[in-house]
Each structure stands twice: as structure tokens, then as C-alpha cells.
Amino acid sequence: MKRIAYIILLFLYLLLVNIVGRAAFLYYNRDLSFFNMADGVKAELLGIPMDMAVASALMAVPVLLTLLSLKWERLSMRRTAGVLLWLTVFVTVCFTCADFIMYEHWKFKLDASVFAYMSEPGEMSSSTPVSYLVSRIGLSVLAAFVAGFLAFRFTPRSFSARGRRHARRVRGWVVWLAGFIVLLPLILGVAGVIGEGLAFQKVQIAGKDLTVRRNIFLSNAAVNPVFHMAHSVWLYSEDADRQFRSMDAKEARALTSRLFPADTEDITDTLFTTTRPNILTLQIESMGAVFVRDLGGKYGEGVSMFSSEKEPVTPELCRWMQQGINFTRAYASSFRTDRGTVSVISGALSYPTVSLMMQDSVLALMEQGSGIPAIPSTLRRAGYSTCYLYGGEPSFMNKGRYLSAAGYDRVMGIEDIDVRPEERDQWGANDSIAFERLFSYVTSADRSEPWCVGFQTLSSHEPWKVPYERFRDRILNAFSYTDHHIGRFLDRLSQSPVWDKTVVIIFADHGYPYHQFYDRPDFFHIPLLIVGGALRHTGNVETLISQSDIAATLLSQMNITHRQFPYSRNIFSSRYVSPCVYATYPAGVMLMDERGFSMYDHQSGVFISETDTLREKQLKAILQDSYENL
């Protein structure tokens, strides 16, 4: 009976550890989403089958050792099963804590994609203050140690084998039966009844509880973090061309061909006064439209530090929108800088499970002159000189290598900027310093050929420490700081001799989940505007445009072919008849057109938006086609 009691009680303890982990997720991140106690209980109940599978997995070896103790009566359970439990429970609790702590910043659960960024732990830690990291890590390790120690102490030193042989034989069968029962969730999980995709989330959240299904926070809370990571590792290990196959390749191509026509090189509106202007691209870190009042941003105004009145967070962007071409319905392709950068420069779609910038094979092909195309290499063949200035470390996330492979003759980073320690933040040079270096570069050189210069801001990023005090909210204050220096830079540039021959393309790399999540188009809505002395006219453009369309739209205005950019469309073409934007985040994919949007959770196989059969099929077709062409 001791063995049976041990197996059952250990299973219940491990199940409780996982349930408490979900409760901690809900409590720690309670300010991220509105939900009541009943919703939290629903999320707990929906997650229990996955908790059972994880508890069962943690018990696999201890149950096996318990069964072996029927044969080897002197087997030391505490030295074997106890020590193993201590280690596995310790790791499980640490990972559970990391999941709900990082969710506060990233707004998605930890999955296999995080491994791609672990090669730069110093850069990753720049997002959070050291004191924050130390306190959270310390408390997580302490909780994990205690949970593991309790499992260790709960395990008996050994099982006695007193009693008659027949009785021991009967108890042995009962122990085998108890072991099979507690391992059944693991067996079912491996077999696919629970573990196929996130099948419980797929069945329950999609079909039985719309409250949880339509609240991505509760949906994420319901999913066991260990189960989720295991599933994502399996998902990421699949061959890319089979990963999201849902229809015949010809059918997928037919559905996507209307959305991404092969030829959009004609133009219905001429934007530039010359086909060979200087090109300056300003990529703004995390600047979602939510911070821009003139784009309908919900948080486009904030409370000033000096009064109780609300003021615009990004007045300079709003001012320059009136002086240039303002694309009011522009959307980012993804949720991270590495993916957004590639979408703009290479006119590429984003992928929920792959960062092209982080793929050595992709970069190797680009360095050989094949692979995905890029704006700077295309312009270099047209006689342009090219350069990219970045105030941070170019080696982070393969950025420098990608930019060089994309055709930038020179990539300047923090080592190329004369910056004092007080002028740096965790990511590199403050935007004020970086903009000074940019202004000096584009105005001082005497160039006979046109030039293409890229630039990326840094300061509007966690941990939001900037040498600027305007708003009480530190996040709004950081975005206002970057906006201030964008306006100052453009004002100075407009007074310089290069202005009349230059167009400046300003856009965000992605949005920021400020009181919002990835499951709505608002997160992907970004500012996109073109200013400069080489503009023929100004005004608003209401057409839907994706980041990936910048390449084709720009090259068409310059009378340069863009046929090598299959997923980039010139939105001023007469053949751009099905405006839409496609975007991805780790767990899902969005397709938005003039009729609405569809949001697909690819990890669970569930659409978490209102039903639209055609758009849902088009979304799956693009997802499949993009991976087959990867």
C-alpha cells in the first residue's frame, strides 16, 4: 500500500505544482488584461489536462523505480527517484516562473523561438534592470528549490517488503495498475489524444468556452508552459515545407496569386520629382500607431510631468505627417526588430517560427548574390552608394551580417560613434547622439552619386531610460524622446543642401504591446510616412499597405524593376486590386483586408476571430506558400 499511496500522492503533488504555477501566472500578470474570478477559474480548469500530462511525465522514472522496487527490495528510492524529482521539479518551477515573468514584457509564452536569441544573453538582459532580474531570478530559484526539496523529502528511503509472497504478488499487480493510471495522461499525450498540437486548447478553448478563446491572455494562461514548450520544440523541428501544409500547393498558389500579383510595376501616382533621389530610411524602434494621435492612437496623448493636461506623445511625427505623404493604414509584418527589418529591406513576409536574419543558410545565399533580394543591393546596381548607421552592436541577432549581405557597403555601429558613457543606454548610443552622427554623415560627404542610407533608433525600448523628462509614464516618455529627436533631425535636414534631392522614409519596425496583445490588428498598426524635398506632392494615402510593400512601392517610383521581390507589391499599381496585410507573431498569424481581419493561432489550429471562410483559407494559403518557398 505504501507504493500505491506514494504514486497517487506524488502525482497529486506534481499536479498541484502545475496548478499553482498557472495561478501565479494569472496573479503576476493580472494588470495586463481585465478578467474576473470566474474567468480565472475557467482558465485553471481548462489547463488541468495539460497539467496532468506534465505531472505524468515528471513521474515516469519515479514510477518505473517504484515498480522495480518490487523486484529489488533494497532499492534506495530517495537516492534515485528522490534526487531525480528534486532536479526535474526544480527545472519545471524555474521554467514556469520564467514564463510568467517574461510574459509581462513579451506578451507571449516562452517557446522554442527564444533559443535563437540566447546566444546574446547580455543584449537580451538590456531590456530589464539588473535589480529586477536579480530579484525575480532569486525568488524563482528559491521557489523551485523548495518545491523540489518537498518532492525529495516526500519520497521514502525505501519500501519494506514484509508480508506473505501471495499478498506481495497481489499488491504488485495493484502497484502496476496504479502506475499505469498515473502515467496514462503521458501516454495519451504522446499518442496525440491530448498532445496533438495543443489539442485540449484546440477543443476546449475553441469550442466550449468563448470567454477564454477570445481573451488571448486567458488562453495563454490556460496552456501549461512546459507542455507548450515541448509542443513548440516539436513544431519547430518539422521540415519547413511540411510544417503548415493544409491544401494542395497549386490551390495555395492560386489563392495567393491574386493577393500578391506577379506584376505591379506600373504607377498611377508619381511621388518623386526625380527617379534617382537620395534615399534615407528611418526605422523607429517599437513605434506603434497606438502612440500617434493623428493615427487614432489610443495612447497618443499622455499626462505631462508639468501639468495635469494631456499632451500629444509624438507631436513631431504628427507635424511631419502634414508635410509629407502619410500612409494612414500601414501595418508591420511581425513583432520583433529582426523580422521587421527583413520585411522592409527585403520585401519579405514574416514567419511565426523563423527569423530570416537568424538563419545562417539564408545569409550565406545572400552573400553569394542569390537568395532573398534587398533594396540596397538593388539600388547599388543602379549606381547608389549605400550605408547603414545603427547606434547599437551590429553583431546582435546577426544584424550586421544581414545588412552587409543586403548590399550596404558600410555598416556603422556603436564603435563608429563618438559617445561618452553618460550618452549611452543599455542598448547603445542614445537617439540624440545617433541622430547627430547621422546628420553629420548625410550632410558632410561630397558625393557625386546618389546615396541610400539606413538608420535605426534605439531609445524607445525597455527599460525606457532616456535623458528626457516630459511624461509621467516612462514608456510614453521614451517614445516622446525619440519623437523629439526625429523632429529636430528633420528640421535641420530640411535646411541643408541635400534636402531637395532627398526622400526620407519613416516607419516603425513593429508595434509595442502597450495595454494590448498580438491578437488584434491595432498591435501591428504603425506610422509610415515619406517626407523630403524630392517629393512631388503631399497628402494622406488610405490604402492598406504592409511593411513588405515598401520595397516594391519605392522601386516602382524609381522606375526600377521589383520582380525579384515576390511578396512585395507596389500599392500605386493598377493591379493592386486586393489590398491586404499579412503579419505574424510566435503563436499566430493575421490576415487583414478591407472587410475585416482573421487571426489564426497556428499552435492550436484555431481561428480566434470572427469567421470568414474565404479570408481564413487565404491566410492558410499564404502561410503554406511562404514556408514552401522558404
In a domain, 450, yes or no: no
Residues 332, 341 contacting (CB under 8 angstroms): no
Comparing 575 with 56, which gets the higher pLDDT?
575
Number of H helices, E strands in the chain: 23, 17
- pLDDT-based confidence at 125, cuts 50/70/90? low
**Dist. CA 317–CA 268, nearest whole Å:** 27
Check if the beta carbon of residue 481 is closer than 8 Å to that of residue 466: yes
pLDDT at 616: 95
Please say if the pLDDT value at position 206 is more than 80.
no
Same-domain status, 254 and 321:
no
In a domain, 454, yes or no: no
Q: How far apart, in whole angstroms, are the C-alpha atoms of residue 223 and residue 436?
A: 47
Specify whether 473 is located in the same domain as 565: yes
Residue 221, domain member (yes or no): yes
Q: Which residue has the higher pLDDT, 56 or 307?
A: 56
Are 277 and 254 part of one and the same domain? Answer: no
Check pLDDT > 80 for residue 68.
Answer: no
Task: Give DSSP secondary structure letters for 78-137.
Answer: IIIIIHHHHHHHHHHHHHHHHHHHHHHHHSS---GGGGGGTT-HHHHGGGS-HHHHHHHH
**Is residue 197 very low, low, confident or very high in pLDDT (cuts 50, 70, 90)?**
very low
Are 285 and 184 part of one and the same domain?
Answer: no
The model's pTM = 0.86
Give the whole-angstrom CA distance, residue 174 versus residue 301.
Answer: 67
55-69, 363-377, 541-555: least confident range: 55-69
Please report whether residue 601 resides in a domain: yes
Is the distance from CB of 325 to CB of 271 less than 8 angstroms? yes
What pLDDT is attached to residue 281? 98
Q: How confident is the model at residue 7, as a pLDDT? A: 80
User: Does residue 125 form part of some domain?
Assistant: yes
Name the least confident of 380-389, 518-527, 595-604.
595-604
Contacts of 288 (CB under 8 A, 6+ apart): 297, 332, 508, 510, 511, 512, 514, 522, 523, 524, 525, 526
Q: What is the pLDDT of residues 453-483, one digit of tens each?
A: 999 999 998 889 899 999 999 999 999 999 9
Are residue 101 and residue 122 in the same domain, yes or no? yes
If you average pLDDT over every residue of the chain, what do you get? 86
pLDDT at 447: 77
Residues β-bridged to residue 538: none
Residues 6+ apart with CB under 8 A from 132: none
Alpha helices in 192-275 (DSSP H): 199-200, 206-207, 210-213, 216-222, 225-237, 240-243, 249-259
How many domains does the chain contain in total?
3
105 or 286, higher pLDDT: 286
The percentage of residues in the chain with a pLDDT greater than 90, rounded to a whole number, is: 54
Reply yes or no on whether the pLDDT at 90 is more than 80: yes
Residue 179's pLDDT band (cuts 50, 70, 90):
low
Q: In the prediction, which pLDDT does 212 show? A: 52
Asked if residue 211 and residue 255 are part of one domain, the reply reads: no
Kindly state whether residue 453 falls inside one of the protein's structural domains. Answer: no
Question: Is residue 571 scored above 70 in pLDDT?
Answer: yes
pLDDT of residue 1: 63
Mean per-residue pLDDT, 249-265: 93
Please compute Rg for the chain using Cα positions. 28
- In 3D space, the residue among 386, 361, 365 whose CA is nearest the CA of residue 375 turns out to be 386
Residues 353 and 279 in one domain: yes
Mean local confidence (pLDDT), 134-146: 90
Q: For residues 161-168, give the mean pLDDT.
A: 48
Same structural domain, 566 and 590 = no
> Are 160 and 12 in the same domain?
yes
Last residue of a domain, one of 557, 576, 595: 576
* For residue 263, pLDDT beyond 50: yes
pLDDT band at 156 (very low <50, low <70, confident <90, very high): confident
The predicted model gives 81-105 an average pLDDT of 91
**For residue 369, what pLDDT is reported?**
87
Whether the pLDDT of residue 130 is over 80: the answer is no
Claim to verify: residue 96 and residue 214 sit in the same structural domain: yes
The boundaries of the domain holding residue 367 are 266-445+459-576
As a residue count, the chain comes to 630
Structure-model confidence comparison of residues 71 and 211, the more confident one:
71
CATH of the domain at 500: 3.40.720.10
Residues 93 and 217 in one domain: yes
Are 618 and 514 in the same domain?
A: no
Would 33 be classed as within a structural domain? yes
Which whole number is the average pLDDT over 208-226? 71
Residue 451 in domain? no
Are 249 and 510 spatial neighbours (Cβ–Cβ below 8 Å)? Answer: no
Instruction: Give residue 192's pLDDT.
Output: 43
Residue, of 98 and 611, whose pLDDT is higher:
98
Distances (CA, A) of 336 to 77, 286, 354, 509, 524: 47, 8, 11, 7, 11
Least confident of 279-283, 584-588, 602-606: 602-606
pLDDT for residue 75: 78
